[in-house]
Amino acid sequence: MATATPKVAILGAGIAGATVAVALKTARANAELIVVDRNFESQSPGALLDILYGLKKPDSVTFSTLQAFQKLGVQIIRGEVLRVDGDKRSIYTAVRTFTPDYIIIALGMEPHLSPFDGANTLPVLASLKDAATLAERLLSSGAGDYLIISPATDTCLHLLPIEAALAVHHLLVRAGKRKNARIRIISPEPLPFSRWDPNFSNAISAYLAKHEIEWLGNMQPASVKGNILTTRLGAEIPFQFAFLIPPVQVPRLFQHSTMLDASGWVQANSYLFNSRGDRVYAIGACAGFILPSSPKDQPPLLFPKWPQNAYDQAVILADNLVKEWKRDIKLVRYSGSAESSMRVGPSSFASISGDFLSQQPPAISLKFPGLLPFGSRASPIPDLRKILS
Ligand SMILES: Cc1cc2nc3c(=O)[nH]c(=O)nc-3n(C[C@H](O)[C@H](O)[C@H](O)COP(=O)(O)OP(=O)(O)OC[C@H]3O[C@@H](n4cnc5c(N)ncnc54)[C@H](O)[C@@H]3O)c2cc1C
Walk along the chain (389 residues) and give the pLDDT tens digit of each residue: 456 899 999 999 999 999 999 999 999 999 999 999 999 998 877 889 999 999 999 988 888 999 999 999 999 999 999 999 999 999 999 889 999 999 999 999 999 999 999 999 999 999 999 999 999 999 888 879 999 999 988 888 999 999 999 999 999 999 999 998 999 999 999 999 999 999 999 999 999 999 999 999 999 999 999 999 999 999 999 999 999 999 999 999 998 899 999 999 999 999 999 999 999 999 999 999 999 999 888 889 999 999 999 999 999 999 999 999 999 989 999 999 998 989 999 888 888 999 999 999 999 999 887 544 444 444 467 888 889 98
Query: Residue 352: which of 99, 344, 335 has the closest Cα?
Result: 344
> Is the preceding omega at residue 361 within 30 degrees of 0, hence cis?
yes
- What does the DSSP 8-state code read for residue 339? E
Amino acid at 198: P
In three-state secondary structure terms, 280 is strand
**Euclidean distance between CA atoms 98 and 184, whole angstroms:** 49
* Cβ within 8 Å of residue 184, ≥6 positions away: 145, 146, 147, 148, 213, 214, 215, 216, 239
| CA of 252, closest atom in ligand 1 | 41
**Ligand 1 mean position to 42 CA, how many Å?**
9
Sign of CA dihedral 317, 319, 324, 325: positive
User: To test ligand 1's pocket by mutation, which of 10, 34, 37 has the most ligand atoms within 8 angstroms of CB?
Assistant: 37
* Residue 221 three-state SS: strand
Q: Is the overall model pTM greater than 0.85, yes or no?
A: yes
- How many whole angstroms from 16 Cα to the centroid of ligand 1? 9
**Is 49's C-beta closer than 6 angstroms to any atom of ligand 1?**
yes
Query: Taking Cα atoms as reference points, which of 110, 11, 14, 54 lies closest to residue 382?
Result: 14
Closest CA to 239 of 190, 188, 189, 183: 183
Ligand 1 centroid to Cα of residue 108, in Å, is 4
CB 21 within 8 A of CB 74: yes
Q: Yes or no: say if 61 and 128 are a contact pair by the CB < 8 Å rule.
A: yes
Transcribe 194-218 into DSSP letters.
Answer: TTS-HHHHHHHHHHHHHTTEEEE-S
Q: What span, in angstroms and rounded, lies between the C-alpha atoms of 306 and 172? A: 28
Distance 284 CA to ligand 1 centre (A): 9
